[in-house]
Amino acid sequence: MSPESERRMRMEPYRIKVVEPLPAISRSERERALAAADFNLFRLRSTEVIIDLFTDSGTSAMSTEQLAALMRGDESYAGSSSFFRFEQVVGELTGYKIVLPCHQGRAAERILFSCLLQGGDLTLSNGHFDTTRANIELCGAEARDLPSPASADLAAAAPFKGDIDLEALTATLAGPEGDRVRAVVLTITNNAGGGQPASMANAQAAAALCRSHGVPFLLDAARFAENAYLVGRREAAWAGRAPREIAEAMFALADGAWISLKKDGIANIGGVLALNDEALADRCRDLLIATEGFPTYGGLAGRDLEALAQGLLEVTDEEYLASRESAAAYLAALAEDAGVPTVRPPGLHAVYLDAARLLPHLPWSAFPGQALACELYLEAGIRSVEMGTLMLGHPGSDGEPDTPAAHELLRLALPRRVYTQSHLEYVGEALRAVAARAVAIPGYRIVQAPRALRHFSARLEPVRVDAVEPSSALPA
């Protein structure tokens, strides 16, 4: 998109049939709510949020066809007809032989890694997301990111910053740690890396490397349709191809995938684990039965399976995906116009704000992304999520400092088919007001938190900048 087109938003390819009122909550009420939530936006009630850009997971609006599909739900415990429709749709899309429904993506990855990994094993990825890393580490294995070198420059317009670093992948697979590698995971799109896509050429090269070393190549495909659309828009060899065709080609490169269908399934709950390795699938199925449910429902109601099957048919529609692209580009332009730097180029599912650049007075140990999230909520009741050291850093042990994340970002996620242009303009005005007082925004420190996935439940408090450890300067 040109800079001019980014400042105009494409007409949404749908009309609104059901509406839900937005909460009306004053500044003083927001101040009390945030303090009561210990300055952690995960702990807010939804009734305390005006515009919720916290996540695109499970927050989307279903279509009339999906709502109609709910009524076809077969709630039989075993052999549900809704499962067989779901299995057919997933199988035709991915090409994988075994389809195991799960209640959401993290359940699928827990089952997979529990059956694939042991202590001391290693997984490599363009970017493990938070629950993926946690489930790998719960097995005693190591999750190591090999992000594309292009991802280091947040402002550059490189089209595929979500690629895996092929040079580092080659060196690791061929090096002394190669026998530790049990899987290579390509996350599409790369949520931890600013929502950036991975190219088909990069996926093809990574798959070939994995085959030559006998290592499974897997997709974390929560946003497979959005990645496919951006491949068609940005990769010359795939220009003009339909998103569905590109998605099928990407799945064909891998040995299996797990998908949080709360994203590109356009539904409120659900996930799937799809594999070709029958022996691995048998182990996964046994664990699924013990922890999720019978394999023909996997922790989901029949109506959920029906809605997901329909959502998977709708999500590769090019008009719908173009609307997503337009909305993200428009919000990114509003942020930039307000003086808030963003990760460029924008993807589809979210706009990522560069909190470190906006708040240079805050070191990483004062969690600038969280500081910006709190300030945006106080300003306008907008909920967003920090994606910096609080979420993606490595907590220090025995009093040692954290290992900071590569970047200090704030994510504004866009629920599918939920918000209109005027809602995004409201966010843009709020960002302008926050940017105007950026130098006065306080940092935060953790008061109490679990060691794993601490961002979900941590308790924080504001902290003066001069009270932060001087050794906590931003990493180079």
Q: What is the pLDDT of residue 5?
A: 55
Asked whether the beta carbons of 325 and 349 are under 8 A apart, the reply is no
Domains of the chain: 3-56+317-467 (3.90.1150.10), 64-314 (3.40.640.10)
Asked whether the beta carbons of 169 and 146 are under 8 A apart, the reply is yes
**What are the structure tokens assigned to 288, written together?**
């699924």
Which of 3-7's residues contact partners 24+ apart within 8 Å by CB, and which partners?
3/333, 5/329, 6/329, 6/330, 6/332, 6/333, 7/330, 7/333, 7/337
Q: What is the pLDDT of residue 211?
A: 98
The active-site residue out of 129, 229, 251, 444 is: 129
* Degrees to nearest 5, angle at CA 141 with 135 and 144: 90
The active-site residue out of 77, 208, 282, 473 is: 77
Q: What is the pLDDT of residue 394?
A: 82
**What are the structure tokens assigned to 123, written together?**
């997984």
Active-site annotation holds for 366 = no
Q: What is the pLDDT of residue 128?
A: 95
* pLDDT under 70: residue ranges of the chain: 1-7, 399, 467-476
Active-site annotation holds for 455 = yes
Question: CA 221, CA 456: separation in Å to the nearest integer?
Answer: 22
Q: What is the pLDDT of residue 193?
A: 85
Q: Which residues contact 123 (CB under 8 A, 6 or more apart)?
A: 113, 117, 136, 141, 142, 143, 144, 181, 182, 183, 184, 185
Q: What is the pLDDT of residue 2?
A: 57
The active-site residue out of 222, 247, 380, 430 is: 222
Torsion of CA 443, 447, 451, 456, to 10 degrees: -70
Active-site annotation holds for 402 = no
Give me the sign of the Cα torsion angle 338, 438, 470, 443. negative
What would the 3-class secondary structure string for 6-39 be?
HCCCCCCCCCCCCCCCCCCCCHHHHHHHHHHCCC
Active-site annotation holds for 262 = no
Counting every residue written for the chain, the total comes to 476
The active-site residue out of 52, 56, 121, 130 is: 130
Query: Of all residues in the chain, what percent carry a pLDDT higher than 90?
Result: 89
Active-site annotation holds for 263 = yes
For the entire predicted model, the pTM comes to 0.93
**What are the structure tokens assigned to 131, written together?**
């629950």
The amino acid occupying position 216 is P
Active-site annotation holds for 394 = no
The active-site residue out of 52, 74, 220, 255 is: 220
Q: What is the pLDDT of residue 140?
A: 96
Q: Which residues contact 294 (CB under 8 A, 6 or more apart)?
A: 77, 78
Active-site annotation holds for 52 = no
The amino acid occupying position 334 is L
Asked whether the beta carbons of 411 and 331 are under 8 A apart, the reply is no
Q: What is the pLDDT of residue 188?
A: 97
Instruction: State how far the alpha carbon of 104 is from the alpha carbons of 100, 107, 360, in Å.
Output: 11, 6, 37
Question: CA 257, CA 82: separation in Å to the nearest integer?
Answer: 21
Write b or e for each residue in 19-32: b if 16 or more Cβ atoms lie within 10 A of its Cβ, otherwise e: eeeeeeeeeeebee
**What are the structure tokens assigned to 446, written together?**
């953790």
The active-site residue out of 128, 161, 263, 349 is: 263
